[in-house]
Amino acid sequence: MQFKMIHENYNVVDLDRSLSFYQRALGLTEKRRKEAKDGSFIIVYVGNEQSDFELELTWLRDHPQPYDIGEEEFHLAFRTDDFEAAHALHEQMGCICFENPSLGIYFIQDPDGYWLEVLPTR
């Protein structure tokens, strides 16, 4: 038996703000969406051509308050072929939340507080 990872879900408060962040910060664009007929939720899958893995962004009408994501000990990781340019972009966006120069990595934080690790291609 084999399993293939296909997506991870993040619940978001402002879907448009999140879509804009992920497109600008990581080049992730909308692949498809599902909308409830009653307007109670919208699910948008974002990804890129580098992988078929997707990030599922879920907006829930009846949950307008920020999500409690605990101590932020979980994260998604992204490898980039231009670490310096990525770092400069994220610095300009003001979304770098933690750097570990000795490991050569840093983390950015999305509008809802989720951490995303950025690593260079090695």
> Per-residue confidence at 119, pLDDT binned at 50, 70, 90?
very high
pTM for the model: 0.90
> How many other CB atoms are there within 10 angstroms of residue 109's CB atom?
19
For position 91, what pLDDT does the model report?
Answer: 98
Whether residue 45 contacts residue 32, with contact meaning beta carbons closer than 8 Å, is answered with yes
Please, what are the domains in the chain? 7-62+75-120 (3.10.180.10)
pLDDT digits (tens, 9 = 90+) for 28-59: 999 999 999 999 999 999 999 999 999 999 99
Residue 104 φ/ψ region, left for φ over 0, alpha for ψ in the -120 to 50 degree band, beta for the rest? left
For position 1, what pLDDT does the model report?
Answer: 75
**pLDDT tops 80 at residue 106:** yes
Q: Which two tokens stand for residue 102?
A: 């000795």
For position 68, what pLDDT does the model report?
Answer: 87
Rg, C-alpha atoms of the chain: 15
Return the minimum-mean-pLDDT range out of 31-40, 56-65, 68-77.
68-77
- Helix (H), strand (E) at residue 103: none
